[in-house]
Amino acid sequence: MSKTWLITGASSGLGRLMTERLLARGDRVVATLRREGVLDALQQAHGERLLVLTLDLTDVPRIREVTHQAFERMGRIDVVVSNAGYGLFGAAEELSDEQIDHQITTNLTGSIQLIRAVLPHLRAQGGGRIVQVSSEGGQKAYPNFSLYHATKWGIEGFVESTAQDVAPLGIDFLIVEPGPTATDFATGLVHGTPMEAYEATPAGDVRRAVADGSFEIKGDAARTVDAMIAAADEPNPPLRLALGSSAYTGIKQALEERLQALEAQRAVAFSADTD
């Protein structure tokens, strides 16, 4: 049976690939993007099975307007894919106030408001699924990506809590955590103003690795999208899905280190209880 999907950030990268894959198998897609005309060829090829709407996640009233329009036009949406976002690249004090505000407004607040906007519609239709595209960076952290990580760790906490709120209503979540993947993510990075003080730090090391191409990228975009679709099609997917060997090994190491540190604090933790 065909499904209907709402996908944000569908103009490029994983969102564009997912839109193409789903249309090719006969599903219907509402694709949102910031730039008009990017999906004109797909629109001509698939007609009414593709609805393209412009959306900037920093515009909360527009999020609600687009969400209402999507459900009204399609009747039912089975899967909402919160995919839109970008990376802010720089050590914390290298970033401007405006860059920080825009990163948080887009990646975190925008994703939260999208989920809030679709929940009433999903409740009204008796359920549905929300796929939140996060990153291995929602469970671990690289130098030079502090604000990007802040948004990904933040949205994962929001989703984990909200998933408990809405589970009795027939709504579930899937958090997708790809590792570094061969998309146009790197070309879309917004850069802070480099400071000499950070050249000999891990932030400088990561900056040079990205610039000279030595930052290892193992993930295949097409295989990542195929795995995302397959998981979203499952009747009972996991809450979190790591994609790529880098994501699996990086998240596993980060969790093991945190658990080891927590276990070492057991006596101190228990000592803070009341008698």
Question: What is the domain-level CATH number for residue 23?
Answer: 3.40.50.720
- Is residue 62 pLDDT above 90, yes or no? yes
- Is residue 26 pLDDT above 90, yes or no? yes
Residue 223 in any domain: the answer is yes
Residue 255 in any domain: the answer is no
pLDDT tens digits, 103-156: 999 999 999 999 999 999 999 999 999 999 999 999 999 999 999 999 999 999
Q: Are strands 190-191 and 28-33 parallel, antiparallel or unpaired?
A: unpaired
Residue 260 in any domain: the answer is no
- Is residue 93 pLDDT above 90, yes or no? yes
Residue 134 annotated in active site: yes
Number of domains in the chain: 1
**Dihedral-angle region of residue 262 (phi above 0 means left; psi in -120 to 50 means alpha; beta otherwise):** alpha
Q: Could you give the CA distance from residue 172 to residue 68 in angstroms, rounded to a whole number?
A: 20
- Give the pLDDT score at 182: 67
- Is residue 79 pLDDT above 80, yes or no? yes
Residue 192 in any domain: the answer is yes
Cβ neighbors of 188 (< 8 A, separation 6 or more) are 12, 86, 87
- Give the pLDDT score at 75: 93
Residue 139 in any domain: the answer is yes
Residue 101 in any domain: the answer is yes
Nearest Cα neighbor of 35 from 53, 15, 14, 58 is 53
Which entry of 3, 11, 82, 152 is annotated as an active-site residue? 152
pLDDT tens digits, 195-223: 999 999 999 988 888 888 777 767 788 99
Specify the amino acid at residue 99. Answer: Q
Tokens found for residue 162: 């909200």
Range of the domain at 210: 4-248
Q: Could you give the CA distance from residue 229 to residue 239 in angstroms, rounded to a whole number?
A: 14
Which entry of 146, 148, 198, 246 is annotated as an active-site residue? 148
Which entry of 11, 82, 111, 134 is annotated as an active-site residue? 134
Residue 267 in any domain: the answer is no
Q: Could you give the CA distance from residue 267 to residue 19 in angstroms, rounded to a whole number?
A: 51
Residue % of the chain over a pLDDT of 70: 97
Residue 11 annotated in active site: no
